[in-house]
Amino acid sequence: LPYRVRWQDLKDLFRRAGTVLRADVSLGPDNRSRGYGTVLLATAEDAGRAVDMFNGYTWQTRTLEVRPDRMGEELGMAAAAAAVPFAGVGVGIGVGGLGANLGVGVPGTNGGQSSRNLFVGNLPFHIQWQDLKDLFRQAGAVQRADVALGADGRSRGFGTVSFSNETDAERAVRMFNGYEYNGRPLKVHFDK
């Protein structure tokens, strides 16, 4: 991505392909763009259209590489099985292959299993969902990670991480509750 692009610019561009639920540009500790991001679209059709429209698209002199997240197909099937009204399909956007292993989520598919969902507090404000997901992967299979955003699009300093099983979630609490992350001790517990 062009380094001056922000999440709102990304969201505006991808609206041409369909309904955008969320757009993020990954930022480093210095609050500067890392040159890649993600877009969460409302349907698989919108996501496919986005790949067709924007893979190879030149935007502000940069050629975009757009592809579905590797987990998109698995999560799409899970959403269909759960009869969710819509399935979010993530489309990772990167330049030069930087967008590999980007996360994706299917809204509303936790199946009421709160024992797999963790609350993570005292996050540094520059942390985005991808950073949170990457950190917590050390404990096991992360299905989804989210950082709560305010109306201005900025982090509120807390988030959630959902694991595919209870064992990994328990391990994450043991590993990361009190863990110092960028100078801040994390507060991690099961989401209520």
pLDDT tens, residue by residue, 26-78: 877 787 888 888 888 888 888 888 888 998 889 888 888 888 765 444 444 33
pTM above 0.85, yes or no: no
Asked if 65 and 131 sit in the same domain, the reply is: no
Asked if 178 and 150 sit in the same domain, the reply is: yes
| 142-149 sheet: strands from edge to edge | 142-149, 155-163, 117-121, 187-190
Q: Look at residues 94, 127, 146 and tell me which one is the last residue of a structural domain.
A: 94
Compute CA distances 35 → 28, 30, 40, 63, whole Å: 10, 13, 17, 11
Residue type present at position 149: L
